[in-house]
Structure 1
């Protein structure tokens, strides 16, 4: 590749990866019917979110993801300098998100997860293997950001301390096991079984929900809410998934139960967006 060609290709990759990340967020928001989450039906268990706001928030993050891809290409290797650049860009992206949403946390967890994955893809643009991309993102996440400002513990961090569970940071550091081992395999299984794309994506979400210690649910509804999510998601999959009549009945029951305890699986939703970003069918 000539220097002139490389000069043209590198920005195009950053644009493409930012497009894919935003598309993953919008596709996740649009997917319906998701249990207790914002979707085309309404606001789920949220009183401060709706689909319009989720779309606007996702679009506001395009420059953030593009800059993260640019940073990864500029540094070229996993290391403290890249990690600190990503942290700075992520904080700028969060400020833009909050300005767009009027202060509502729409996508803070998604900035972390998708930002790492975007950077990982940009470091090795020919690597389309989800497990490899996720593992490289995990290596980035293991590096401390020396310039991260001291802040009061987030809801997720408080829940981690209270219940002894891992949160979004640890999920990333481990190479996104909920995505690589559960969400993406279920997506492939459901497609292979003949489910439509929306049902396959719902099943992928449910496979994540069935196992994830979702700190959003724990914050809102404690261990009982988390148990309700785990058992309800497993019941949908055991009934044949969201493409079957029995599965849809179980999905409605799960939706009702989670709404009843005001528990919205926002962590699982972020990881579904990561699934859609890593999905080989959407990453070419």
Structure 2
């Protein structure tokens, strides 16, 4: 695979590995799972994030026209949020060891995410959006905003964390409505894009986790989001064959982070055998997609 044709969706592997690391770290706290698994996965995520970021920087330097086209695409532009999400995850992982560095990285990632969100919103408000191009990846930038709320308080930014949570949840509600309308009444998703439907599970799962951490207790809004996340998880499980019918592609990384986020939510709310089951399922999903990606890259 040449540098020019290195696909943006490959960056989603950062979300999957980071989600798995955070999930196993939570399992170490909640389920007394081995602590080193989460630490190892977060370290791997950081290495992959730095490596892919460097590759995309080189791609921008050598093939700026390709990167500009990707950033102009309504489908691919949201994937640029993964750079901010990766920064947020690295900041969260580094907090116990390098708090000052983690705080700076969190702040830079939040600013970058707000800038990208403003660019996308300005495009939509100018009427540049195409209803036929509405797809679940549009939600990714606002998952990033919600995720910022998870890592903000330990780094001394509780107020900004609430602000980011508000941004993320507000636009998620709007985009979810538009996406469901498109799915019910508009043109169907291309078979290759069907795995991205799993992204719909991420906002209520991460939002509920953020509320649990910000409030320090189980409140009605967190429970409401948890209920919605559970409904999505059940519906998506029924669609497994539908979503995988076109065979493996890098879009399958869409399965990973939402599965891990939902597992973390179950650990915080339920625990016990249900949490262990969710941990096992999400781990198998991440391992399977990672193995498929390695085979895909070796053949490319």
Normalising to structure 1: TM-score of the pair? 0.31
Normalising to structure 2: TM-score of the pair? 0.30
Which has the larger helix fraction?
2
